[in-house]
Structure 1
Amino acid sequence: MARYTGPKSKIARRFREPIFGPDKALERKNYPPGMHGTSRKRGKQSEFAVQLMEKQKVKYTYGVLERYFENLFHKASAKEGITGENLLKFLEARLDNTVYRLGIAPTRSAARQLVGHKHITVNGEVVNIASYALRAGDVVAVRERSKSLEAVSNSVAARTINKFSWLEWDANALTGKFLNYPSRDEIPENIKENLIVELYSK
């Protein structure tokens, strides 16, 4: 399964956001990586650089690679509605992202691992494809024999109330339902999707 496996703290520092989850390195060094640290003088970024950086941030946040992202963008642009918002909705509907949003896993990478190791079911069937696109009404659950996993129980125990209106959670059965695509204002990530649309429009 293709995914980013490089240094995560370095990437988080580049964007100055904890895009892979809580990061002590980012808290200690809230400035871009590099041997010159905070003293490094950086010129004004070009419009293209700003747009490209925003695209990279989204790819790292959701854990997707270039070809998949480009295909998803074209799918979003072909769908009725605002392209940038459609793109984020499709990313939110990924199975690994939903497992993370439900609180079954503490991070998206951990959610991807649970899915890949066949610990997650969709509508009662085991699905091990992290990019599986959920549809309204789909039920995501922890596989019966996987409910005792320490990683799952620890994550669920640390879970707070359901923060996402497009998801329904049953703590006793460890199941969640994908109710619908979220609206843009419900997605908490700090993303300027219009910059990505401008980038692909060139």
Structure 2
Amino acid sequence: MSGGSVVVVEELVKSFGSGAGQLVAVDKVSARIEPGTAVALTGASGSGKSTLLHLIGAIERADSGSVLVDKVEVTKLGRRALAEYRRSVGFVFQRYHLLPALTAEDNVAAPLLPFRVDFDKRQRARELLDIVGIGDRHTALPSQLSGGQQQRVAIARALIASPRLLLADEPTGNLDSARTTEIIDLLLTLRDTHGMTILIATHEQDVATRCNQSIHLQDGRIV
């Protein structure tokens, strides 16, 4: 990982449904995220923070507006380039999405298993598990790990492709206060050590106050 990405969104719009049932989830949002910063996206449930994160990560397609990551206009990428872009971004979710039949090590390596790379995937996975503090559990199945440990595996998996941008959608939503502190400590250490840019969608004010910047959303707009 070599530094963080700069992210610029301009007049971004995303709606779901149509006619009288249309919901505008992101409504003409513009923002700039500086490289190497941790930024919290805050707001009540339904405020648009997760949708904004998904637009930046190209999980969702915008209706209009633009997303630029390191001057690459993500909103104009074709299908193959979009797939490559998604592989270059780290994703962490509230639900860990670990494969129950795979060990921690194999879960971390899983995103790269279909691809040819110039390093040993499982060795990289073990190194990342060491970085997130659970290297001694590399052979454990998800069912043998606590919630906090499973989230550490998910974070290690998000780092397997050495991303410059990490997107975390309510990463502490299923954790108690002690585990929440541990996970945010870990994310901020990644920022400080690697200069990674981190966006965290969260409803927890304690998490937001530890970030460099907070962007508050209400009804799809920045307020």
Q: Shared fold (TM-score greater than 0.5)?
A: no
**TM-score (ref. length: structure 2):** 0.24
**TM-score (ref. length: structure 1):** 0.25
Normalized per residue, the structure richer in strand is 2
Normalized per residue, the structure richer in helix is 1
Q: Flag the structure with more relative contact order, 1 or 2, with Cα contacts below 8 A and sequence separation at least 6.
A: 2
